[in-house]
Structure 1
Amino acid sequence: MTIEYEWRGGFDNAALNALHADGFGHPVARTDWRERLERHSLGWVCAWEDGSLIGFVNVVWDGGVHAFILDTVVAQRRKRSGVGSALVATAAQEARAAKCEWLHVDFEERLRSFYFDTCGFKETTAGLIAL
């Protein structure tokens, strides 16, 4: 089976909501992803297998040189198969092509190895205020 990665790919809100529910283990939401992405994102990467959305990552930015990845998600049945790292690599490639100089990510501790070892992010000092 061939997996295709598409920058700013077309998708159906219902399909992306279902993928998020599957990948993150929560009930299916009714988020208007199309509106959200068009308003805030540099772009996004969709991973497709046999016409099904199996992966997604959102690339938001500051309008300048900083891009941030959010919502990296892979269908449960395709986890640990390289889809996530290919999504992030495509996001980095496209952010670089848009003249971004930095790609940031925040993540839970359990994802440390994925982002540092697999995807090549480097540890930095950062701050956070819970709102």
Structure 2
Amino acid sequence: MTAILLRTGVDMVDVERLTRMIELSGAEFLESSWTAAERLYCADRPDRLASRWAAKEATMKALDRGIGQVSPLEVEVVAGEGQMPTLLLRGHAEARAHELRLDTWSVSLTHEDRWALAFVVGIGSTPHEQHR
């Protein structure tokens, strides 16, 4: 018998604050925080970048890890226009997910005016020992 394992994370980002950070830090910040595919998809739109930043943070929370333990580039939000986003984990993020027995991920993104939000669920299963 197996038990379903769920790990969740949520994060909210101030789009205006992120816009100022991008303006101050430029390409270095963009390249160290979002993959080339994410930057291409977002087309320099701060609201889209912010929702993906929130997804990275939410994923790290679900993994019980923070920046420094997991690079933002190790968590990628993959989506085509009009498609539901998915997560692709690499490196330390992928290793931690494996350690926690999480093999399926769900992510929901939204942005409205000044705010961007992401909710992430990691799903796995673990052997359930019966109590005697």
TM (norm. structure 2) is 0.27
Question: Between Structure 1 and Structure 2, which shows a larger proportion of helix residues?
Answer: 2
Q: Greater Rg, structure 1 or structure 2?
A: 2
Determine which structure has the larger strand proportion and give its number: 2
